Structure 1
Amino acid sequence: MTDDPARFLADSPDRLTLLRRLSEGGASPSELADDLPFSRRSVQRNLAAFVDRGWAESGGGTYRATVTGTLVAEEHAAYVDALDRIGEFAPLFRHLPDRDHAPDPAWLAGAELTAATDDDPQAPVHRYVQSVKRLDTDRVRMLSPVLSRLFHDAHASLAMRGVHTDLVMPAPMVRRARERNPTEFATVVRLDVLSLYRCRDFFSVGLVLGDDRVLLAAYDREKRLRALVESDDARVRAWAAELFERYREQSDRVTE
C-alpha cells in the first residue's frame, strides 16, 4: 500500500468516485457495483484498501465511509475541481502579472470566460463592449491600462445614463490621453460623471466593478486584450473592490 493518499486516489479516478459514494451512505459491494460503472472485483479491492487506510468501515456486509474518508473525499474532490478550473480559465491566468492579481479559482465556478482565439482575436473586446453597455449600476469603479476608442464609447453610454465612473489609469496613459485631444480631455475631466485618477505605478490588468458584476480583463505584453472574465460572485466582487482601492490609494486625482 502506498503511503501517499493523493497518489493513491490519482492512480485511479474510480477510487474517488467510490469514496464519495460511500460518503453519501452505506452500501454493500454488490449495491456499489450496481450503482457505479465498476466491476464488483474492482469495488471489493478498493473497499479493502479504504478499510486498511481507515477511510471506510464495514459491518453486516455494508461499507460506510468514516469521518476521515469523508474529509479525504471532500478535500481531494475540491483539489481536482480547482485544477480543472485553473485549466478552464488558463487564458486569463496566463496573462495576469502575478498571483495578487488573480482571484481564487474556486470563486470562478459560475464565471463566464471570453478568450481571444486565432479565428476571433477580438472576441473579448466585443464582449467587453457589450457587457459594459448592459451594466445596471449607478457607479462604476474601473482600472484601465490602455486607451481604446471602443472602450471609451462603451463607457460614454453609461455616462449618458448618469452613471458615475471612478477611473484609475497609469500616468503614461493619462498623459497620452491629454496629448491626443486636450480639449476633449479637459471637457471629460470637468464632467460630474467621471473621477479620473493618475496612478504612479504601471499596471496591466483591467477591471470594471459595478453594483453586482465584475469584468476582469487580462492583456498581453502588446496591451492586447486576451481574456475577459465576468462574475457576479460576492467573493470576486470583494476581491475586485480591494484591488481597485489598492491602486486608487497610489493615485492622484486629475483635474483640468
Structure 2
Amino acid sequence: MDVPESVAFLAGSPERLRLLTHLREQPGSPRDVAEATDVSHRSVQRNLSEFAEREWVEKRNGVYELTTSGDLVARTHANYVETLGVISEFDSFFRHLPDPTHAPDLAWVADATVVTASPDQPQAPVSHYVNRLRTRGTETIRMLAPVLSRLYHDAHAELVLSGVETELIMSPGRIETARSSNPLEFRLVSRVIDIYEHDGVVEFGLTIGDEWAFARAYDDAGQLQAVLECDHPEFLEWAETLYRRYRDRSSAIG
C-alpha cells in the first residue's frame, strides 16, 4: 500500500468514508450502495473501482464487499476523522494550553463539557466554573491556579467555610502579588487553605474534587478562556498525576 497516496485519496472526498462505512455494514451492488448513501451512481461506480484497485473491496456476483484490509482502512479512517472532530470541538481549550503534556487524551474528553469565552460572553467559563463548583459535592479540593480571581474567590470561600479541605498551588510571583496587595486577607486565607509555592511558572488551571475534575486554559494575559469539565475515570487519574507533578515541585508557604 502506498500510504501517502492512500491518505491523499481518502482525504480527497468525504464520499469515500461514507461508502467505506456503508460497505462495512452492508455489502451491495453499485445501485444499492448509491441508493443507501445518497451518492450518485456514477461517483459510487468510480470509487468502487478505485477501492478495487487498492484491494479494499472484492466484487462477487455484482456485489461489492470489503476485504480485511478494506475493513481496517475504513475503521482507521473513520477514527481519524472522528478524532479531528473532537480536536475541533475542543479547540478553544487545547489551543490555550501551555504545551501538549497538559492535554488529556482525546478519548476521555469526547463526552466532556467545555465552556468557552467569547466576545459576547467573556466570563462564560468563569460563570460555569463557579456554578458547577457550588453544586458539586466534595470533601477535598486541590487546585492549580495561574491567577487568583475575585470572580470565583467567593465560591471557594463558601466551600472552605463548609469544611472542605482545600489545597492551592501557585507560582511565587502570583503568591507575592496576592500577599502584597492585601496582606490581611492573604494571612486569613493562608490559615484556612494550604497554599504551596511552585518551583516555576503555573500556566494551567486544575481543580480536583473527590470524584470530578475541571481543567482550565488561560491566555497570555491570564484570562480564563475555557473550562473543561469531565468525569471520565482516566481523565481523573490523569488530573491526579498532573497535579502530583506540580505538588512534588512545590513547598508550603511560611
TM-score, structure 2 normalization: 0.92
What is the identity, as a one-letter code, of the residue corresponding to 1:39? S
Paired AA for residue 253 in structure 1: A
- Which aligned runs of 4 or more in structure 1 are off by greater than 4 angstroms? none
Q: Is the counterpart of residue 38 in structure 1 residue 39 in structure 2?
A: yes
Matched, 1:204 2:196: no
Deviations 1:144-197 (A, max 9, x none): 010112222111122233222221111122222233333333333333xx3221
Q: Which moved more, 1:164-173 or 1:23-32?
A: 23-32
In the TM superposition, what whole-angstrom CA distance separates every residue of 1:96-127 from its partner, at most 9, and x where no partner exists?
A: 11111122333321121211111111111111
- Quote the Cα distance in structure 2 between the aligned partners of 1:246 and 1:93: 20
Equivalence for 2:7: 6
CA distance in 1, matches of 2:125, 2:40: 46
| Corresponding letter in the other structure for 1:42 | S
Q: Which residue of 2 aligns with 1:154?
A: 155
Partners in 2 of 1:155 and 1:209 — Cα distance?
13
- For the 8 Å contact 1:145–1:203, the answer to whether it is kept is yes
Q: Which residue of 2 aligns with 1:140?
A: 141
1:1-256 to 2 correspondence within 5 Å? 4-191=5-192, 194-255=193-254
Q: How far is the alpha carbon of 1:48 from its aligned partner?
A: 1.7
Per-residue deviation, residues 209-254 of structure 1 (Å, max 9, x unmatched): 1233221111111111111111112222222111111100000022
Identity, % of aligned pairs?
45
What amino acid is the match of 2:242? L
Question: Alpha-carbon deviation of 1:2?
Answer: 7.9
Q: Separation in 1 of the partners of 2:161 and 2:52?
A: 67
1:97 is paired with a residue whose SS is coil
Residue 29 of structure 1: how far off its partner (Å):
2.0
SS of 1:27's equivalent?
coil
- CA distance, structure 2, for counterparts of residue 157 and residue 64 of structure 1: 62
Give the aligned residue type for 1:217: R
Aligned residues: 253
Q: Tell me, yes or no, if the aligned pair for 1:215 and 1:230 is still in contact at 8 Å.
A: yes
Q: Within 1, Cα distance between the matches of 2:52 and 2:210?
A: 51
Q: RMSD value over aligned CA atoms? A: 1.9
The answer on whether the counterparts of 1:103 and 1:236 sit within 8 Å (CA) in structure 2 is yes
Is the Cα contact below 8 Å between 1:139 and 1:163 reproduced in 2? yes
Deviations 1:64-118 (A, max 9, x none): 1122111111111121122222222222122211111122333321121211111
Residues 211 and 24 from structure 1, CA distance in 2 versus in 1: closer, same or farther, beyond 3 angstroms?
Answer: farther
Unaligned runs of 5+ in 1: none
Distance in 2, Cα, partners of 1:57 & 1:162: 67
2-structure distance, mates of 1:84, 1:236? 19
